[in-house]
Structure 1
Amino acid sequence: MLPEGKHVRGVYERIIEAIKSEPSDRLFIDSSTIDVQTSIETSNLIKSNNLGTFVDAPVSGGTVGAANATLTFMVGTEDLNTVEPTLKMMGSRFFACGKQGAGLAAKLANNYILALTNIATAEGFQLANQLGLDLAKFSEIVNTSSGRSWSSEVNNPVPGISPSTPSSRDYESGFGVSLMRKDLLLAIAAADLVKLKLLLGSDAAKVYETIVEAGLARKDMSVIYKYLEDSK
Structure 2
Amino acid sequence: MSATLCSFALRRSTSGALRAAHRHFSTSASRDASWGFIGLGAMGYPMAKNLRAKIPEGDSLTIYDVNTSSMDKLSSEASSKNLHIAKSPREVAEKSDNIISALPEPQHVKSVFNDILASSLPKPLSERSRLFIDCSTIDPITSREVAKKVKDHGDADFVDAPMSGGTVGADAGTLTFMVGADNELMARIEPILMMMGKKVWHMGVQGTGLSGKLANNYALAINNIAAAEAFNLGIRWGINAKALADLLNSATGKSWPSEVNPPVPGVKENSPSSRDYQGGFGVSLMKKDLKLAITAADEAGAKLVLAEVARSVYEETEKEHKGKDFSVVYRWLGGKE
User: TM-score scaled to structure 1, two decimals?
Assistant: 0.93
The count of residues paired between Structure 1 and Structure 2 equals 229
Report the equivalent of 2:194.
88
Residue 330 (structure 2) aligns with: 225
Q: Which runs of 5+ in 2 are unaligned?
A: 1-101
Identify, as 1 or 2, the structure richer in strand: 2
Aligned residue runs from structure 1 range 86-165, under 5 A: 86-165=192-271
Cα offsets for 1:71-105 (capped at 9, x unmatched): 21110024321111111122111111111101001
Q: Distance in 1 between matches of 2:106 and 2:205?
A: 19
* Partner AA of 1:226 in structure 2: R
Task: Determine the structure 2 residue equivalent to 1:64.
Answer: 168
State whether structure 2 residue 304 is matched by structure 1 residue 198: yes
Alpha-carbon distance in 2 for matches of 1:147, 1:199: 20
Greater fraction of residues in helix: 1
Q: Percent identity?
A: 49
Could you tell me which of 106, 129, 137 is aligned with 1:5?
106
Aligned counterpart in structure 1 of residue 149 of structure 2, from 39, 42, 45: 45
Taking the TM superposition and a 5 Å limit, the aligned residue runs for 1:22-37 are: 22-24=122-124, 25-37=129-141
Give CA deviations for 1:31-53 in whole Å, capped at 9, x if unaligned: 11111011111112222222511
Once the 2 structures are TM-superposed, how far is the Cα of residue 62 of structure 1 from its aligned partner? 2.1
1:20 aligns with 2:120: yes
Residue 201 of structure 1, CA deviation:
0.6
| CA deviation profile, 1:14-37 (whole Å, cap 9, x unmatched) | 1223x7331431111111111101
Q: Which consecutive unaligned segments of at least 5 residues does structure 1 have? A: none
Instruction: Please tell me whether Structure 1 or Structure 2 has the larger radius of gyration of its CA atoms.
Output: 2
Q: Which amino acid aligns with 2:122?
A: E
Any idea what the Cα deviations from partners look like across 1:94-125, whole Å, max 9, x if unmatched?
11111110100111111110110011011111
Q: Distance in 1 between matches of 2:241 and 2:328?
A: 16
Normalised TM-score (structure 2):
0.65
Question: SS state of the match for residue 43, structure 1?
Answer: helix
Q: Distance in 2 between matches of 1:169 and 1:230?
A: 16
Write out the 4+ residue segments of structure 1 that deviate beyond 3 Å after TM superposition.
none
- Tell me, in whole angstroms, the C-alpha distance in 1 between the residues paired with 2:110 and 2:123: 19
